[in-house]
Each structure stands twice: as C-alpha cells, then as structure tokens.
A = this chain, B = another copy of it.
Amino acid sequence: MTTESLLNQLITSLRCLPGVGPKSAQRMALHLLERNREGGLQLAEVIAEAMQNIGRCSQCRDLTEREVCAVCANPGRDQSLLCVVESPVDVLAIEQATAYKGRYFVLLGRLSPLDGIGPAELGMDQLALRLEQQPPEELIIATNPTVEGEATSYYLQRMAGAHRIRVTRIAHGVPLGGELEYTDKSTLAHAFGSRLLID
C-alpha cells in the first residue's frame, strides 16, 4: 500500500520523454489507459525492440537495427556524393525534403571542446579513412549554422582539402516565404555576403 501505484509509475516513466511535463504525462497515461490500450502495448513493444536492437551503421554511423543502414546498403544511391550531417534527424529531414540521392556520414554531434567532444568522438578518423579509400567526388557539408556547426564545417573543409576532394556547403540565407523585415540581422548579413550572380 505504500508502494507507488502502477498509474503513478506510468506517469513518472512517461516524463523521461523530452518535452513531457507532469500534466502531459498524466494526459498521455490516461489517454492510453482509457482509449488506446492496443496502441500502448504496441508502443511498449516497439520501444523495447528499438532500445535493444538499434545501433550504428558501420559505414555512415546513422542509427539502424542492421549492420549497414538502408541508405548505405542501397546500390542505387550515388557513391560520388557524400553529405556530412550532425544527427540522424538531419538525415530524416534531408530525405523528406530534398531529392538527394547520395550517401551520408552522420557525426552524431559537433565539435565542442568544452563538452569534451573532439574529432575522435565524431568519428572523424572513420571519415578520413573513407575519404582515403573510397573518395567521393563531392563532400557536401550540412552541419547546422551554429558556432559549433561552423567549427565542425571548417574542420571538415580542411580534411577534404587534404584529400583534394571538392567541398560544398548547403546555402544559408533568407528562408523561402520569409520577409527581409523579419529576418534576423546575421542571416540577412550572411545572405548579402553570399549573393549569387543571376545569369
């Protein structure tokens, strides 16, 4: 009688999800119990399976339950393009939004010496080996335009330069549908500095 009830345990456990506070956790628990026990059971099964089986792709470090992820295992993907991103969500975003058909390399982080994240933690050795053994024609840097992302980008540029591989960086500027008036100053300044010739 003094141990916590299963309902309270469920509410507490749900709070391990990011962005879920006490009220949302209550709502989720009650929703599952009252309306969707089937879905809850399935969710439990998939979470357990994912936690146990998902590891990293041996080639691109993306999250996958296989030895080699679906993209790397697909012979239809262009070997000559290699896109470097910070995280698996970036791969999902690029796959959903663009027609990119090349390969990826997932750093799973960004250079951040203060947090103890250096080149070794980001698998830069593995990337260097890959640039050596199967050099792509173009290395596309798609790290986030933050301070750490830029530092990571600079590191990647030097590495690719040493291997004489063409390096590109995805464009940064005013977002489509955005208005100059409401664009922040650094983005606008960057967009001006990176203006392109219309031919």
Contacts and interface: CB of A to CB of B under 8 A. Distances in A.
Nearest to A92: B26
Interface string A1-38: 10001110110011011110000101111111110110
A43 interface: yes
A28 B37 contact: no
A94 interface: no
Copies in the complex: 2
B10 A46 contact: yes
Interface in A48-94: 48-54, 63-65, 69-70, 73-74, 87-89, 92
Contacts of A54: 6-7, 10, 33
Interface residues of A, number: 52
B63 A7 contact: yes
Given A46-B9, A50-B6, A51-B40, A30 B65 contact: no
A70 B28 contact: no
Given A1-B74, A13-B47, A19-B24, A6 B53 contact: yes
B47 A51 contact: no
Contact of A89 (B5, B30, B87): B30
A199 interface: no
Nearest to A74: B1
